[in-house]
Amino acid sequence: MTMESKPKDFSKQSRIKIHQPDASKADRFNPRNRIYVRAVDGIWSTLRRRMGWIALSFFLILPWIPWGDRQAVWFNLAEQKFHVFGLTIWPQDLTLLAALFMIAAFGLFFVTTYLGRVWCGYTCPQTVWTFIFIWFEEKLEGARNKRIKLDQMPWSFDKLWRKSAKHTAWLLISLLTSMTFVSYFVPSAEVYIDVFTLNASGGVYFWVVFFTLATYGNAGWMREIMCLHMCPYARFQSAMFDKNTFIVGYDASRGETRGPRSRKADPKALGLGDCIDCDLCVQVCPTGIDIRNGLQYECINCGACIDACDTTMERMGYDKGLISYTTENKLDGIKESVLRPKLVGYGVVLTVMILLFIYASATIAPVRMDVIRDRNALYRENNLGEIENTFTIKILNKTEAKHQYQLSVEGIDNAKWIGPQTVDIDGGEVLTLPISVAVDPVELKRSVTNINIVVKSEIDGELVTTTQETRFFGN
């Protein structure tokens, strides 16, 4: 039973149950039904806009920050190198990338357990780009009521130019977004110059067009459909919620019974609560829900309904906070508990993973070596009567500067190194070097001996030693 049909029943269950919409509002789940979002000002809307602009600015600027002879952030798929400022991640270091994703996941779990879906409401790209598109829509087509009337009007010159200008703006934003995203994988200067001079490769054109259309469709047309029907986060977030998670909540005990009244009227004398049933909280919601119906998975915790309600309460001379960031326990009059086992557990795991990631990132070896034995023959006897084993050594210079490396073998006395023992390798290059190790049979105590191939180099004033164990076979 909804609050409208039974306004005095404000049990816990009625407030927190997943909303089952009545027939009059069921069409909001229809992908073809458009939601006209009303503009709202307030502390949370201002915070959301500023955080959105900060996130957008980082996204647009990062590919243009120089770092030596390259851009600071560059995911070079062609050469299998991920550059993040001074850190270069190679395929051999992809465990770092996996750890980074795990940190992001546990960070999301921690924040969601504590603050609910603030990621969705304030920093999710879908939310940020959707509100940017809505801003252009408002500037070119007018406020919410004007946009509704415009869509209902027959086609005219005024409607044509407004619609054309809006979609042109959307496409330009989408194109800028797409080219910026591609610039993380292809040098940004090349992307912009080559695309507009028609010198880019077919792959670059494909991804630019693909992400342009994806951004245009997601933020311009699909909007809340992504949140309601496609985003999996809305579905599994309930597993992270508890009774102390901050949610956008409506204080039904204060707001009911709803009803319009004049500013001078005494609501208590009329048997009414503080809610004047203006429906502004519904009109400003980007997913089209009525927060007064309780906790709903479609709520993205953006706080727009809080700003709208606080504005109405201020005009009516009532206390703010009828809709607010609150918890289930607070709504029930139960003392809140910030430190609870699940939140502490997420926090501890997140902290440990961050520390391990920092340590692993700071201790990435600047040199990597692989030693591959000759698979055709275990050993051979050369013309001097020595036992000779052949190896292929691959040395990867993981720095961005050229360095000289000294190679040697340890583990067998008087072993001869056949091949170059001093090599120069450019930054980011892999040297493949075939060599042989020869030993007098007298020095061999057994048929299989463990040996070490050693590579030494002075990097940034520090002697770096890399060792790879292998086996030497004799007769």
Mean of the pLDDT values across residues 45-57? 94
Whole-angstrom CA distances from 421 to 159, 406, 427, 439, 450 are 77, 6, 19, 17, 20
Whether pLDDT at 14 is above 50? no
Question: What integer pLDDT is reported at residue 97 of this predicted model?
Answer: 81
Using one digit for the tens of pLDDT, what is the confidence trace for 189-200?
A: 889 999 999 999
Question: What integer pLDDT is reported at residue 257 of this predicted model?
Answer: 93
Distance of CA 249 to the CA centre of its chain: 27
Handedness of CA 139, 142, 143, 149 (dihedral sign): negative
Mean of the pLDDT values across residues 45-56? 94
Neighbouring residues of 460: CB distance < 8 A, sequence distance ≥ 6: none
Q: For residues 358 and 306, give the distance between their C-alpha atoms in angstroms, rounded to a whole number.
A: 39
Q: For residues 204 and 195, give the distance between their C-alpha atoms in angstroms, rounded to a whole number.
A: 8
Whether pLDDT at 16 is above 50? no
Listing DSSP states for 278-331 in one string gives --HHHHT-TT---GGG---TT-----HHHHHHHHHHHHHTPPS-SEEEE-HHHH
Q: The tokens 């955080």 sit on which residue?
A: 51
For residues 273 and 254, the answer to whether their CB atoms sit within 8 Å is yes
Listing DSSP states for 208-266 in one string gives HHHHHHHHIIIIIIITHHIIIII-THHHHGGGT--TTS-EEEE-HHHHPSP----TTS-
Whether pLDDT at 335 is above 70? yes
Neighbouring residues of 417: CB distance < 8 A, sequence distance ≥ 6: 407, 408, 409, 435, 437
Q: For residues 87 and 218, give the distance between their C-alpha atoms in angstroms, rounded to a whole number.
A: 33
Whether pLDDT at 398 is above 90? no
Burial class (CB in 10 A: 0-12, 13-18, 19+), 68: exposed
Handedness of CA 59, 124, 150, 38 (dihedral sign): negative
Radius of gyration of the chain (CA): 32
The CATH number fitting domain 367-473, selected from 3.30.2320.20, 3.40.50.2300, 2.60.40.10, 3.40.630.30 = 2.60.40.10
Question: What integer pLDDT is reported at residue 27 of this predicted model?
Answer: 54
Question: What integer pLDDT is reported at residue 229 of this predicted model?
Answer: 85
Burial class (CB in 10 A: 0-12, 13-18, 19+), 90: middle
Q: For residues 362 and 356, give the distance between their C-alpha atoms in angstroms, rounded to a whole number.
A: 10
Question: What integer pLDDT is reported at residue 240 of this predicted model?
Answer: 86
Q: Checking phi first, is residue 198 left (phi over 0); if not, alpha (psi -120 to 50) or beta? A: left
**Amino acid at the residue 335:** K
Phi then psi for residue 465, to 5 deg, are -120, 130
Mean of the pLDDT values across residues 211-224? 94
Strand (E) or helix (H) holding 362: helix 341-362
Question: What integer pLDDT is reported at residue 1 of this predicted model?
Answer: 31
Q: Which two tokens stand for residue 360?
A: 């692993």
Q: How confident is the model at residue 407 (pLDDT cuts 50, 70, 90)?
A: very high
Using one digit for the tens of pLDDT, what is the confidence trace for 428-456?
A: 888 999 999 999 998 888 889 999 999 99
Whether pLDDT at 279 is above 80? yes
Q: How confident is the model at residue 30 (pLDDT cuts 50, 70, 90)?
A: low
Helices in 31-156 by DSSP H: which ranges? Answer: 43-61, 94-115, 118, 125-141, 144-152
For residues 468 and 371, the answer to whether their CB atoms sit within 8 Å is yes
Whether pLDDT at 276 is above 80? yes
Mean of the pLDDT values across residues 102-124? 92
Buried b or exposed e, range 395-409, using 16+ CB within 10 angstroms: bbbbbbeebebebeb
Cα angle 116, 118, 124 (rounded to 5 degrees) comes to: 135
Neighbouring residues of 420: CB distance < 8 A, sequence distance ≥ 6: 407, 433, 435
Whether pLDDT at 417 is above 70? yes
Using one digit for the tens of pLDDT, what is the confidence trace for 66-102?
A: 988 889 999 988 888 888 887 788 877 778 888 888 9
HEC readout, 393-426: EEEEECCCCCEEEEEEEECCCCCEEECCCEEEEC
Find residue 438's DSSP bridge partners.
388, 416
Q: What is the pTM of this model?
A: 0.80
Question: What integer pLDDT is reported at residue 176 of this predicted model?
Answer: 96
Whether pLDDT at 272 is above 60? yes
Cα angle 133, 135, 137 (rounded to 5 degrees) comes to: 70
Question: What integer pLDDT is reported at residue 9 of this predicted model?
Answer: 41
For residues 87 and 361, the answer to whether their CB atoms sit within 8 Å is yes
Using one digit for the tens of pLDDT, what is the confidence trace for 157-191?
A: 999 999 999 999 999 999 999 999 999 999 998 89
Domain ranges of the chain: 34-239, 367-473
Whether pLDDT at 31 is above 90? no
Residue 93 DSSP class: G
Q: How confident is the model at residue 8 (pLDDT cuts 50, 70, 90)?
A: very low
For the chain, the average pLDDT equals 88
Q: How confident is the model at residue 333 (pLDDT cuts 50, 70, 90)?
A: confident
Percent of the chain with pLDDT over 70: 93
Q: The tokens 């490396």 sit on which residue?
A: 405
